[in-house]
Amino acid sequence: METKILSAKDVNEAAEILKMGGIVAIPTETVYGLAADAFNEDAIRKIFIAKGRPSDNPLIVHISSIDEIYGLVQEVTPEAIKLANAFWPGPLTIILKKSKVILDIISGGLDTVAIRMPAHRIAKKIIKETKTPLVAPSANLSGRPSPTKVEHVALDLKGKIDAIVDAGTCNIGVESTVISLCEKIPTVFRPGAITIEQLESVLGKVEFDSAVINRLDENSKPISPGLKYKHYAPNVKLIILDGNQKQYLDYINNNEANKVAALCFEEDAKNLKIPFATYGKEVDPLLQAEKLFDALRKLDNMKNIDLVYARCPAKSGVGLAVYNRLIRAAGFNIINL
Ligand code: AMP
Ligand code: MG
């Protein structure tokens, strides 16, 4: 299949392809999403095939105005209204009980559905122009780092999807915060740029699922299916070193191993004698989020590297989102310095 590369001017063409049942990678403020008409089961099936996504991993439904949520869920609860007013459009996904119109292929057999209203100008235009909500999981092969640039999408999916809309780099860089309003206490299933502290300021007490930062044991059934899958993994082995800058640099510089690279902050790089990719600055978790997936892909392109030592981000605020992605990329391999 030929994959058309479209630009921000071609919103109409992208919408036409989607209306005809095609699948199109679209920019959002978080990462590129692989979109299909949320009411077209055949189109949605193409997404699972192109990505190699397990069928029990549910999809997020993207809308372009708050009103559209009413048909999609059983009840828009007062908490949902508070969250939507505070954070939509933006990088927050809300899980509610699904209505009958939600196809099983979207919810992976669950009785709930995840909804988001993105803030990205082009994403909003495409949804509006298509005149239907769109499902849009990250536009990468399942298990690979999520795409923040068109070249990431092209590398994973060129030849497998109908089109890619190029709108440059996604500025948030990690996927949306996912919060469920179907638990006793609102529960974060995936941390993102909207932090737990921000959610608590609107809702009061919010919990986060332990699988956000811990490995699930083999037999447990997660409440969010995506938590059980291998994620964001570069092809090289990654180990997180949890410590301050001096401990990190000492550990690496006293370690004679060959074929080792570093995934570090910008300010660490000048003190290292091994190849490196940087992901932002220690004091700036938003920048870390923006750069992380691109840095993971850069490490994959390095020749002759078997092992990468990653500097550990903060585990709070937006740092928690970065840590959540990194610890999955590292297969939960972490050394406390
Ligand atoms: P992605 O589409 O790659 O951004 O991943 C979507 C994430 O949202 C996955 O981790 C899913 O498991 C999660 N998700 C989507 N819908 C639901 C739902 N109804 N219940 C729980 N988790 C969900
Ligand atoms: Mg994904």
> Using CA atoms, how far apart are residues 310 and 277, in angstroms rounded to an integer?
9
Q: Which atom of ligand 1 is nearest to the CA of 31?
A: 4
Query: Going by CA atoms, what residue is nearest to atom 10 of ligand 1?
Result: 226
pLDDT for 237: 92
| Nearest of 218, 211, 170, 171 to residue 191 by alpha carbon | 211
- pLDDT, residue 218, reads 66
CB of 117 within 8 A of CB of 65? yes
Is the minimum distance from the CB of 59 to ligand 1 under 6 angstroms?
yes
- pLDDT, tens digit, 9 for 90 and up, residues 176-186: 999 999 999 99
Q: What is the pLDDT of residue 212?
A: 79
Confidence check: pLDDT of 217 > 80: no
**145 CA from centroid of ligand 2 (Å):** 8
C-alpha span between 11 and 4 (Å, rounded): 13
**How confident is the prediction for the chain on average, in pLDDT?**
95
Residue 238 C-beta-side C-alpha neighbours within 13 Å = 28
- Dig out the tokens for 185 from the structure: 């206490």
Its pTM stands at: 0.96
pLDDT tens digits along 309-330: 999 999 999 999 999 999 999 9
Tens digit of each residue's pLDDT (9 = 90 or more) over 23-64: 999 999 999 999 999 999 999 999 999 999 988 899 999 999
- Beta-carbon contacts of 88 under 8 Å, excluding residues fewer than 6 positions away, are 66, 116, 117
Provide mean pLDDT across the span 192-219. 89
* Residue 159, helix vs strand vs coil: coil
CATH of 237-336, one of 3.40.50.720, 3.40.630.30, 3.40.50.11030, 3.30.300.10: 3.40.50.11030
Q: Where in the chain is CATH 3.90.870.10?
A: 4-212
Q: In percent, how much of the chain has pLDDT > 70?
A: 98
Q: Is 232 in the pocket of ligand 1 (CB under 6 A)?
A: no
Check if 60 has its Cβ closer than 6 Å to any atom of ligand 1: yes
Residue 211 has pLDDT above 90, yes or no: no
User: Ligand 1 center to residue 271 CA distance, Å?
Assistant: 40
Residue owning the nearest CA to atom 12 of ligand 1:
226
SS3 152: helix
Q: Compute φ and ψ for 114, nearest 5 degrees.
A: -100, 130
Question: Which residues belong to CATH 3.40.50.11030 in the chain?
Answer: 237-336
Looking at residues 290-300, what average pLDDT do you find? 96
Confidence of residue 258 (pLDDT cuts 50, 70, 90): confident
- Residue 51, burial from CB neighbour count under 10 angstroms (0-12, 13-18, 19+): buried
Least confidently predicted of 114-118, 217-221, 277-281, 305-309: 217-221
Chain segment 103-149, per-residue pLDDT in tens? 999 999 899 999 999 999 999 999 999 999 999 999 999 999 999 99
Mean pLDDT, range 259-281, rounded to an integer: 96
What is the DSSP track for 251-303? Answer: HHHT---SSEEEEE-GGGGGG-SS-EEE-S-TT-HHHHHHHHHHHHHHHHHST
What is the fold of 4-212?
Answer: DHBP synthase (3.90.870)
Q: For atom 21 of ligand 1, which residue has the closest CA?
A: 224
Determine whether the shortest distance from the Cβ of 138 to ligand 1 is under 6 A: yes
- In this model, does residue 267 exceed pLDDT 80? yes
Q: What atom in ligand 1 is closest to the CA of residue 225?
A: 12
Give the DSSP letter of residue 85.
Answer: H
- Kind and range of the H or E run holding 238: strand 237-242
Answer yes or no: is pLDDT of 298 > 80. yes
Residue range 57-107, pLDDT digits in tens: 999 999 999 999 999 999 999 999 999 999 999 999 999 999 999 999 999
What pLDDT sits at residue 225? 73
Residue type, 75: E
